């Protein structure tokens, strides 16, 4: 492991040098193809809704960049050596393009997380209300700006340029890059989930034993029994926390387990693989749950502009608060056995 960082320039990635020859383009092609199929599957499985946000637009842009990378790899692999617009392309450029994409992806985790967080904060505060078309254009140009900004930084950084230039001399090696940003972001979210579970583990276990699957407004939801003798207020954060944990882990528990394994084993995953759409939707669900929890006292469940999670139906956490007699309205479908 070679760390590309110095006193004058601190990078948020790590370089892992391998003896992978450039002839392994077939393996690279299969990896990118598999990632694209996973992107398509994830986009197809998400819940359809009319509300769109920054993360939704960025996920679509990431799928497009992955597809563009696959097309470039395929064209260069097929023609092997050709000239286009006065530039000679060889098999070396497959490695070069992948390295540039890896650097770019490696620097995107923090900016995307921050912008998505700001987007949800503004949405909850309702300080800005743009027309629908203006809002779509704003997200569109924001996504383009962040891609251009990070790519410009990567191509303009002297240390990165020297590392890419060095591969022309040692063209038999193709290094891949591991983002430190993704490691710390994943570590932070896992630790927050762990502390939240520890702080309310007894309530979580009790709710898991009592929660049921019910049908409400033609939608299958988790029904948390309503207790009229609850010692908490209807907008209590302590009451909502175990419900959020159950909803989040009920959807993302395999992904959380995967993150724990990666962190414990310190698995080195190339940045062009690590930044993917399932990971972004996992981060999105974490942000939505956090914003719901911090703003639970001023939530209006009838407000259609509230953030809609493509995979987790957070509103089911509030249904017993808003409709105490749901058991008379909708008959529970089944009981979860723990």
Q: Please compute the mean of the pLDDT values over residues 271-291 and round it to a whole number.
A: 91
**pLDDT: is 209 or 59 the higher one?**
59
For residues 242 and 207, give the distance between their C-alpha atoms in angstroms, rounded to a whole number: 8
pLDDT tens digits along 19-52: 444 446 778 888 899 999 999 999 888 877 656 7
In a 3-state reduction of DSSP, which class is residue 154? helix
In the chain, where do the E strands start and end? Answer: 13-16, 82-84, 87-89, 176-179, 212-216, 219-223, 332-335
Q: Give the pTM.
A: 0.80
For residues 114 and 121, give the distance between their C-alpha atoms in angstroms, rounded to a whole number: 10
Selection from 46-60, 83-97, 152-166, 306-320 with the highest mean pLDDT: 46-60
pLDDT-wise least confident of 217-231, 244-258, 290-304, 322-336: 322-336
Element (H, E) at 44: helix 25-45
- Phi, psi dihedrals of residue 263, rounded to the nearest 5°: -70, -40
Give me the pLDDT at residue 226, please. 55
**pLDDT: is 301 or 8 the higher one?**
301
In a 3-state reduction of DSSP, which class is residue 16? strand
For residue 199, name the pLDDT band (cuts at 50, 70, 90): confident
Give me the pLDDT at residue 293, please. 83
For residue 79, name the pLDDT band (cuts at 50, 70, 90): confident
**Who contacts 245 (Cβ-Cβ below 8 Å, separation ≥6)?**
193, 196, 197, 200, 204
For residue 75, name the pLDDT band (cuts at 50, 70, 90): confident
> DSSP label at 156?
H
Q: Which residue in this structure is represented by tokens 């320039």?
A: 9
| Residues in the chain, total | 338
Q: Please compute the mean of the pLDDT values over residues 291-314 and round it to a whole number.
A: 69
Q: Is the pLDDT of residue 239 over 80?
A: no
Nearest alpha carbon to residue 243 among 279, 293, 280: 293
Is 301 in contact with 307 (CB distance < 8 Å)? no
For residues 78 and 247, give the distance between their C-alpha atoms in angstroms, rounded to a whole number: 47
Work out the percent of the chain whose per-residue pLDDT is above 70. 65
Q: Please compute the mean of the pLDDT values over residues 264-291 and round it to a whole number.
A: 91
Cα-based torsion angle of the residue sequence 261, 262, 263, 269 in order, rounded to the nearest 10 degrees = 180
Work out the percent of the chain whose per-residue pLDDT is above 90. 30
Tokens of 189: 């979210």
Alpha helices in 200-276 (DSSP H): 201-210, 237-265, 271-274
Give me the pLDDT at residue 5, please. 41
In a 3-state reduction of DSSP, which class is residue 14? strand
Q: Please compute the mean of the pLDDT values over residues 182-203 and round it to a whole number.
A: 91
pLDDT tens digits along 99-146: 889 899 999 999 999 999 998 888 777 655 666 678 888 899 999 999
**pLDDT: is 268 or 64 the higher one?**
64
Q: Give the chain's mean pLDDT.
A: 75
């Amino acid at each position: 492991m070679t760390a590309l960082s110095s006193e004058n320039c601190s990078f948020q990635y790590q370089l892992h040098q391998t003896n992978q020859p450039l002839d392994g383009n077939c393996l690279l092609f299969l990896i990118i193809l598999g990632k694209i199929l996973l992107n398509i599957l994830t986009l197809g499985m998400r819940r359809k809704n009319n509300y769109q946000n920054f993360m939704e637009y960025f996920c679509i842009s990431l799928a497009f960049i992955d597809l563009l990378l696959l097309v470039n790899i395929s064209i260069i692999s097929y023609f092997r050596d050709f000239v286009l617009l006065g530039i000679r392309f060889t098999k070396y450029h497959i490695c070069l393009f992948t390295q540039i994409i890896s650097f770019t992806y490696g620097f995107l985790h923090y900016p995307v997380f921050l912008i998505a967080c700001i987007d949800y904060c503004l949405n909850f505060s309702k300080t800005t209300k743009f027309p629908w078309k203006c809002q779509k254009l704003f997200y569109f140009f924001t996504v383009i700006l962040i891609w251009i900004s990070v790519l410009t930084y990567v191509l303009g950084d002297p240390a990165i340029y020297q590392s890419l230039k060095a591969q022309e001399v040692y063209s038999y090696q193709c290094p891949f890059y591991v983002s430190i940003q993704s490691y710390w972001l994943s570590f932070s979210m896992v630790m927050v989930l762990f502390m939240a579970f520890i702080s309310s583990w007894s309530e979580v276990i009790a709710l898991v034993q009592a929660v049921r699957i019910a049908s409400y407004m033609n939608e299958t939801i988790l029904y948390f029994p309503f207790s009229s003798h609850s010692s908490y207020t209807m907008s209590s954060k302590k009451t909502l926390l175990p419900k959020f944990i159950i909803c989040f882990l009920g959807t993302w528990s395999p992904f959380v387990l995967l993150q724990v394994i990666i962190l414990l084993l310190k698995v080195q995953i190339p940045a062009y693989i690590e930044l993917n759409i399932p990971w972004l939707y996992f981060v999105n669900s974490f942000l939505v749950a956090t914003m719901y929890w911090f703003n639970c006292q001023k939530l209006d469940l009838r407000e259609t502009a509230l953030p809609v999670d493509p995979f987790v139906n957070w509103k089911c956490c509030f249904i017993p608060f808003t409709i105490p007699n749901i058991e008379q309205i909708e008959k529970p479908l089944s009981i979860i056995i723990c």
